[in-house]
Structure 1
Amino acid sequence: MIYDKAYYIGEQGFYFPKDAEGNYIQYSSVLDSMPDVLQQMRKLIPSHSVFNGAVGSMTGAKALTAKVGEKVLFLHMQANEDSRPHLIGGHGDLVWEGGSFNDAPVTDRETWFIPGGSAVAALYEFKQPGTYVYLNHNLIQAIQLGAAAQVVVSGEWNNDLMEQVRAPSAIQ
């Protein structure tokens, strides 16, 4: 397998307790927070579901980058819950479910499945420039809780693949 770049995406949930008014509770130490955090964890409802430790850790100025023609390997793990990564505008050309390169990959997957405590590897060759969204396809976790990243791809547009009728512009 040949690739130009590899990105590691660690997905995890956080369980920050809120007070009666819905505000996050501030604690003087991690030890002081433990009883409330453990109570929140028992509900199995994360307050945040994020990539690489924080909401927005791979978006905007911190977005992943690639060039048209580059093959990018995404290595994605989820510690506790199941996840369904998806690359909007692309797919997994090759996907190693379970993350084992000793196994034959499946091909051309739009979304791939990661059982909690497992990993997946997916390879995609970018064909067009633009901003691609890489997210947990459980859209509640992606949009509401933060499990989303962006891949900004530079290069020349290829009208042989898809005709561009007008340049991208702001949404009106």
Structure 2
Amino acid sequence: MVATPFFPEHEQVNTGDPRVVEIRLEVEEKEIEIAPGVFMWAFTFNGSVPGPIIVVHEGDYVEMTLVNPSSNELLHNIDFHASAGALGGGSLTQVGPGQEVVLRFRATKAGAFIYHCAPGGTMVPWHVVHGMNGAIMVLPREGLRDPAGNPISYDRAYYVGEQDYYLPRGENGDLSAMTVHPRRWPTASRIRHLIGGHGDYVWERGGFSSPPAVDLETWVIAAGSAGASIHTIRQPRTYAYLSHNLIEAFVFDAKAIWSPRENGTTT
């Protein structure tokens, strides 16, 4: 999970004309600790794995500045799955150390989408599994709707990205990161988070133009994809969120803990 505040502040229903949303992503090549005493060399957007969540509305223009500081060693770029242009902007955004580039595209499709580094060849998966991925949420201008066309709103939003790490000695996964540092929210809040209890409304494939499925217990997010779901938390209990490929959950720790609070506070 990315560092707090998880989501930028945003309007759920657009109140004006399409606008230009300026985003700055800086590549950091650095060592990170993924488990006690276990380190890896990561490639990150703005220092976190996954990278920041970006939120815009359908019809907005995304103006992204990608910076590759001279302290880095490798060439990087970015491929936006939300973009309708060739290679998601990947061929236009290649930057070597000490360079930066500006890309502007119009968000024409409403949904949840991945972005990632894609410098070419085998370097594409190598950069992605080393941390260079994130998500962008493109909200419909009129906001989210249920299958009957009624408005859907949410009180809090969280972004969860599943990341596999491939290290010597068979290490795989950010061990216990989400159980050591549980996420908390007020009881009876309506929660929305990406990729993953019961989902009141679920956009499994991420497309907001299609009606959401309702009252699902599990769903599948394809590789290289993002999904969205709405949950209503009614009791102050500890809730487990995990991969139901249970080997991933209990051997490789693909799980998280969510803890609602009675007093309405959240951390």
Q: Same fold (TM over 0.5)?
A: yes
Residue 185 of structure 2 corresponds to residue 66 of structure 1: yes
- Describe the SS at the equivalent of 2:239: strand
- C-alpha distance in structure 2 between counterparts of 1:122 and 1:48, whole Å: 26
* Aligned residue type for 2:172: H
- C-alpha distance in structure 1 between counterparts of 2:167 and 2:206, whole Å: 30
Match of 1:27 in 2: none
What is the CA-CA distance between 1:57 and the residue it aligns to?
A: 2.4
What is the CA-CA distance between 1:99 and the residue it aligns to?
A: 1.4
Q: What are the ranges of 5 or more consecutive residues in structure 2 without an aligned counterpart?
A: 1-151
- C-alpha distance in structure 2 between counterparts of 1:134 and 1:5, whole Å: 17
Match of 2:210 in 1: 103
Residue 171 of structure 2 corresponds to residue 56 of structure 1: no
RMSD between superposed Cα atoms in Å: 1.7
Q: What are the ranges of 5 or more consecutive residues in structure 1 without an aligned counterpart?
A: 19-23, 25-46, 77-84, 157-172
Aligned mate of 1:7, from 143, 146, 158: 158
* Aligned residue type for 2:214: T
Match of 2:254 in 1: 147
Residue 94 of structure 2 corresponds to residue 94 of structure 1: no
- C-alpha distance in structure 2 between counterparts of 1:137 and 1:74, whole Å: 18
- C-alpha distance in structure 2 between counterparts of 1:117 and 1:9, whole Å: 14
- C-alpha distance in structure 2 between counterparts of 1:57 and 1:118, whole Å: 22
Match of 1:17 in 2: 168
- Describe the SS at the equivalent of 1:59: helix
- C-alpha distance in structure 2 between counterparts of 1:143 and 1:124, whole Å: 24
What is the CA-CA distance between 1:112 and the residue it aligns to?
A: 0.9
* Aligned residue type for 2:157: A
What is the CA-CA distance between 1:17 and the residue it aligns to?
A: 2.1
For residues 10-44 of structure 1, give each alpha carbon's deviation from its aligned partner in whole angstroms, at most 9, with x where no partner exists. Answer: 102111122xxxxx6xxxxxxxxxxxxxxxxxxxx
- C-alpha distance in structure 1 between counterparts of 2:209 and 2:188, whole Å: 26
* Aligned residue type for 1:155: E
Q: What is the percent sequence identity of the aligned residues?
A: 39
- C-alpha distance in structure 2 between counterparts of 1:57 and 1:97, whole Å: 25
Name segments (4+ residues, structure 1) moved above 3 Å. Answer: none
- C-alpha distance in structure 2 between counterparts of 1:67 and 1:11, whole Å: 24
What is the CA-CA distance between 1:103 and the residue it aligns to?
A: 1.7
Please, what TM-score do these two structures have when normalized by structure 1? 0.60
Aligned mate of 2:194, from 48, 60, 75: 75
- C-alpha distance in structure 2 between counterparts of 1:6 and 1:13, whole Å: 23
What is the CA-CA distance between 1:116 and the residue it aligns to?
A: 1.1
- Describe the SS at the equivalent of 1:58: helix
